[in-house]
Structure 1
Amino acid sequence: MPGGYEVIGDDGFIDYHVHEAWNETTNVYLVVIFVSFGLFMYAKRKKRKIMRLFSVPPAAETLSEPTVSKIHLRQLEMYSISRKYDYQQPQNQAYSVQLSLE
C-alpha cells in the first residue's frame, strides 16, 4: 500500500512506529479524560466557590441610585414629621410682625 500506514512491512516484520504513535495518542486521550473527570468532581464539590468567582458584583452607581419605593417612603416620612410638628404647635397662637420705618 503506497502512502498508507502498514502494520507489517515489506520484509515481514511489524512496523512499531504505528504502535508507538497509537500508544502515545491513547495515553494523551486517557490523561485528558482523567483530568476532565477530576475537574468535574472538583467543580461539583466546590460549586458555590466557583460561582462566586464568576459572579459580577453590583456597581456602586446602582446602589446609590434611589428607587421609586425609597423616594415614596422618604416622602411619607417627611410628611409624618411635618404633621407631628404641626400638632405640637399651639393653634391659637397669633404671629405678629412689627415693621418700623425710620
Structure 2
Amino acid sequence: MAGHGVMASEESLDYSVHEAWNEATNVYLLVILVSFALLMYARKNKRKIMRIFTLPPAAGTPAEPNFYDSLQKVRLRQQLEMYSIARKYDQQSDSVQLSIE
C-alpha cells in the first residue's frame, strides 16, 4: 500500500509539470503572435514610426551645412570687406581733394 501512495504522488507531480508546460507554451505562443503583429504593423507604418524617433531639424540651421554654401558665405564676406575698405579709401580721397581745393 505504501508503494501505491508513492506512485500516486509521482502522477500528480507529473500532471502539474504538464500543466505548467502548457501554460508556458501558451505564453510563448502569445508573445510570438504579438511580436509578429507588431512586426507587420511596423512594416506597413514605417514612416509614422520613424517620425516618432527622429528629432525635427532646427528652424534656422540646417542639419548638415553644405560645403558650397559655407564657401559662398566666406566669399560674400570677403567681398563685403573689400567693398567697405574701398568705400573708406574713397571717402579719404574725397576729403583730401576737398582740403586741397
Partner of 1:71: 73
After alignment, is 23-32 or 9-18 more displaced?
Answer: 9-18
CA deviation after TM superposition for structure 1 residue 46, in Å:
0.9
Separation in 2, partners of 1:29, 1:52: 31
CA deviation after TM superposition for structure 1 residue 78, in Å:
4.0
Structure 2 unmatched runs, 5+: 1-5, 88-96
Partner of 2:94: none
Q: Percent identity?
A: 45
Q: Which amino acid aligns with 1:19?
A: H
Q: How many residues align?
A: 79
TM-score, length basis structure 2: 0.53
**Once superposed, what is the RMSD of the aligned Cα atoms?**
4.1
* Structure ranking higher in helix proportion: 2
Q: How does 1:1-102 map to 2 (within 5 A)?
A: 10-11=7-8, 14-15=11-12, 16-59=15-58, 63=61, 68-75=70-77, 78=80, 96-97=98-99
After alignment, is 38-47 or 49-58 more displaced?
Answer: 49-58
CA deviation after TM superposition for structure 1 residue 53, in Å:
1.4
Separation in 1, partners of 2:56, 2:43: 23
Q: Deviations over 1:19-48 (max 9, x none)?
A: 210111011000100000011001111111
CA deviation after TM superposition for structure 1 residue 68, in Å:
2.9
Separation in 2, partners of 1:73, 1:51: 38
What's the secondary structure of 1:63's corresponding residue? coil
TM-score, length basis structure 1: 0.52
